[in-house]
């Protein structure tokens, strides 16, 4: 029990709870009134939109089914699915005016990968989401939309007409002996009582009372109609949790495949480099030592020269092996981290290169991420030196936050050369794109950079998510 400060005597907790509940109900009722314009903005145009969507979808679906045997009907059906997708997007967009939570768009692409351009065009025919949008446009939305639009018009007309009948009722012609609404209600409630003397006044009072009822309940009714549309759109036109998981799984599968392909290419290059470099020197070393062994007794001076040459071959082979080992894991990267390793790349580049890498000190990268970024940047700098005919280059690191995947690290290599960097299958940038995808990121050829107010050169950026 609690004490009521305004009067003497105890007050039960149930009464106190009831007292607290009344302001909460008033606050919620006020919120419904504030949401009423958005609800009307969604509900009033519903019927015209439903009629247009239904007419287009039914007529084109019938035409496409009739022409399907000729092949062109399939294209017509694809067009119908695209139209239904447009109406689905419009439905989600219109629902944003109501103040309800926004609905994330679904995954529209088909789960079956198309191998030809014609197959890509026809891919909506194998996507369940497209047919669900067709069902919503042809059946669900016409039924629900007609119902909710009719109720909306009834409530709006009842509120406006009832509250204003006292004004315009006097301008109507005399209806003579026609039965009025107040007479029906009066006869049902008070069958033996005489009717009011002033029929018009009684009719106006009754209509005003009905208008108040319609007006008071319109926020609740219209909000319920909007929620019905929203629930249907969430189930039929919104993203499903399993779709997000499927997208993540597909992305992980592609990234794993790209990483495997990139590593396989790196292994092949390493095998070729070993075959063309150290292996040939070691064979030469073996031959020199064998020749020196044969001439050691008969011609010591010649044998001594062959041994000296073999020593040189051994030293050169060792240097080449050290250089190749840097391709596996550069010692500077392993010992001191990514920033010193990238600074060393810039210093060793034939093109004068500057670095802006301060943000790298604020992020945490795994060993494989650092290694992948290092080799992507190294290859990009090599491309600049070989092909760009540039005087200057820069390595710039930036960190930004995105609502979708969190923080993203972008490292771009920019030069002031003649430009022309592009992504083509089988070329160097395509291989770097595979390596970047293996890191869970992307390699992007950006628009032409600006140097001293003029656009020239190329800008290639690799982006990876970071913690």
* pLDDT of residue 183 exceeding 70: no
Residue ranges of the domains in the chain? 46-237, 277-328, 332-465
Task: Determine the Cα–Cα distance for residues 373 and 443; give it in Å rounded to an integer.
Answer: 11
Split at pLDDT 50, 70, 90, the class of 394 is: very high
- pLDDT cut 70: percent of the chain above it: 72
Q: In this predicted model, what pLDDT tens digit does every residue of 228-248 receive, in sequence order?
A: 999 999 988 887 766 555 655
Domain 332-465 is in which class?
alpha beta
pLDDT of residue 434: 75
Mean predicted lDDT score pLDDT of the chain: 78
- As beta bridge partners, residue 396 has 356, 412
The DSSP secondary structure of 174-222, one letter per residue, reads P-TTPPPHHHHHHHHH-TTSPPPS-HHHHHHHHHHHHHHHHHHHHHHHH
Nearest to 337 by CA among 313, 364, 303: 364
pLDDT at 90 over 90: yes
Residue 255: the pLDDT is 60
* Residue 443 pLDDT grade (very low, low, confident, very high; cuts 50, 70, 90): confident
Closest CA to 146 of 219, 53, 82, 216: 53
Dihedrals φ, ψ of 259, to 5°?
Answer: -65, -40
Give one DSSP letter per residue of 222-258, joined into a string: HHHHHHHHHHHHHHHHSPPHHHHHHHHHHHHHHHHHH
Tokens found for residue 30: 């006020």
Q: Alpha-carbon distance 42 to 37, whole Å?
A: 9
- Which band of pLDDT confidence, cut at 50, 70 and 90, is reported for residue 138? very high
Average pLDDT over every residue of 434-443: 79
pLDDT in tens, 269-305: 666 666 555 665 676 677 777 887 788 777 788 877 8
List of residues 6+ apart from 270 with CB closer than 8 A = 324, 327, 328
Confidence of residue 150 (pLDDT cuts 50, 70, 90): very high
Per residue in 317-373, pLDDT tens? 677 676 666 556 667 787 788 898 899 888 888 889 999 998 888 888 888 788 888
* 447 contact partners, CB below 8 Å, separation of at least 6: 459
pLDDT of residue 82: 92
How many other CB atoms sit within 10 Å of the CB of residue 129? 23
- Comparing C-alpha atoms, which of 372, 383, 387, 375 is closest to residue 439? 372
CB atoms within 10 A of CB 270: 14
- Using CA atoms, how far apart are residues 186 and 201, in angstroms rounded to an integer? 14
Q: How far apart are CA 394 and CA 346, in angstroms?
A: 8
Cβ neighbours for 95, distance < 8 A, ≥ 6 positions apart: 42, 102, 103, 226, 229, 230, 233
Q: Are 207 and 16 in contact (CB under 8 A)?
A: no
CA 197 distance to own-chain centroid: 69
Q: Which of 375, 439, 370 is nearest to 413 (CA)?
A: 375
Residue 370: CB atoms within 10 Å: 20
Residue bearing tokens 């003579």: 176
| Better-scored residue on pLDDT, 85 or 433 | 85
Lowest mean pLDDT among 85-99, 192-206, 410-424, 425-439: 192-206
pLDDT band at 256 (very low <50, low <70, confident <90, very high): low
Residue-wise pLDDT for 40-59, tens only, equals: 999 999 999 999 999 999 99
Instruction: For residue 391, give the H/E element and its range.
Output: none
The number of angstroms, rounded, from the C-alpha of 71 to the middle of its chain's C-alpha atoms is 34
Of the pLDDT bands very low, low, confident and very high (cuts 50, 70, 90), residue 174 is low
CA angle 451, 454, 459 (to 5 degrees): 50
pLDDT band at 2 (very low <50, low <70, confident <90, very high): very low
**For strand 2-3 and strand 458-465, is the pairing parallel, antiparallel, or unpaired?**
unpaired
Tokens matching residue 369: 């991420």
- Helix H or strand E segment including 134: helix 128-135
How many other CB atoms sit within 10 Å of the CB of residue 458? 27
Find where tokens 């002996």 sit: 177
- Please, which pLDDT band fits residue 128 given cuts at 50, 70 and 90? confident
Main-chain dihedrals φ then ψ at residue 105, nearest 5 degrees = -70, 150
158: its two tokens: 């009842």
State how beta strands 392-402 and 352-356 pair. parallel
* Alpha carbon distance 166, 212 (integer Å): 13
Residue bearing the bigger pLDDT, 154 or 71: 154
């Amino acid at each position: 029990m609690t004490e009521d400060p305004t009067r003497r005597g105890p007050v039960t907790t149930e009464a106190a709870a009831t007292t607290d509940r009344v302001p909460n109900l008033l606050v919620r009722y006020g919120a419904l009134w504030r949401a009423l314009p958005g609800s009307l903005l969604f509900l009033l145009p519903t019927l015209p939109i439903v009629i247009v969507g239904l007419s287009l979808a039914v007529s084109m679906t019938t035409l496409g089914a009739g022409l399907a045997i000729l092949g062109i009907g399939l294209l017509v059906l694809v067009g119908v699915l695209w139209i239904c997708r447009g109406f689905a997007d419009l439905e989600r967009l219109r629902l944003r005016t109501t103040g309800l939570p926004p609905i994330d768009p679904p995954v529209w692409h088909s789960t079956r990968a198309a191998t030809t351009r014609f197959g890509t065009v026809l891919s909506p025919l194998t996507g369940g989401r497209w047919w669900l949008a067709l069902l919503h446009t042809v059946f669900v939305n016409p039924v629900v939309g007609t119902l909710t639009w009719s109720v909306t018009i009834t409530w709006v007309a009842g509120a406006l007409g009832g509250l204003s009948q006292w004004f315009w009722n006097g301008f109507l012609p005399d209806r003579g002996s026609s039965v009025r609404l107040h007479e029906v209600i009066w006869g049902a409630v008070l069958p033996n009582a005489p009717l009011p003397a002033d029929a018009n006044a009684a009719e106006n009072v009754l209509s005003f009372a009905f208008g108040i009822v319609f007006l008071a309940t319109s926020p609740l009714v219209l909000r319920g109609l909007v929620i019905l549309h929203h629930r249907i759109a969430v189930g039929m036109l919104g993203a499903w949790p399993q779709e997000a998981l499927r997208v993540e799984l597909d992305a992980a599968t592609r990234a794993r495949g790209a990483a495997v392909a990139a590593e396989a290419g790196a292994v092949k290059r390493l095998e070729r480099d070993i075959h063309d470099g150290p292996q040939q020197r070691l064979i030469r070393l073996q031959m020199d030592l064998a020749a020196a062994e044969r001439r050691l007794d008969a011609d010591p001076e010649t044998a001594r020269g062959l041994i000296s040459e073999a020593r040189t071959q051994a030293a050169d082979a060792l240097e080449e092996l050290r250089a190749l080992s840097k391709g596996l894991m550069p010692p500077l990267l392993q010992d001191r981290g990514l920033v010193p390793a990238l600074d060393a790349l810039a210093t060793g580049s034939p093109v004068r290169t500057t670095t802006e890498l301060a943000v790298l000190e604020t992020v945490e990268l795994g060993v494989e991420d650092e290694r992948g970024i290092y080799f992507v940047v190294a290859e990009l700098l090599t491309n600049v030196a070989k092909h760009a005919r540039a005087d200057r280059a820069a390595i710039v690191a930036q960190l930004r936050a995105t609502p979708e995947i969190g923080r993203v690290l972008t490292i771009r290599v920019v030069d002031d050369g003649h430009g022309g960097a592009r992504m083509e299958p089988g070329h160097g940038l395509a291989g770097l794109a595979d390596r970047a995808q293996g890191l869970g990121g992307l390699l992007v050829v950006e628009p032409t950079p600006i140097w001293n107010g003029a656009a020239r050169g190329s800008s290639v950026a690799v982006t990876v998510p970071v913690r």
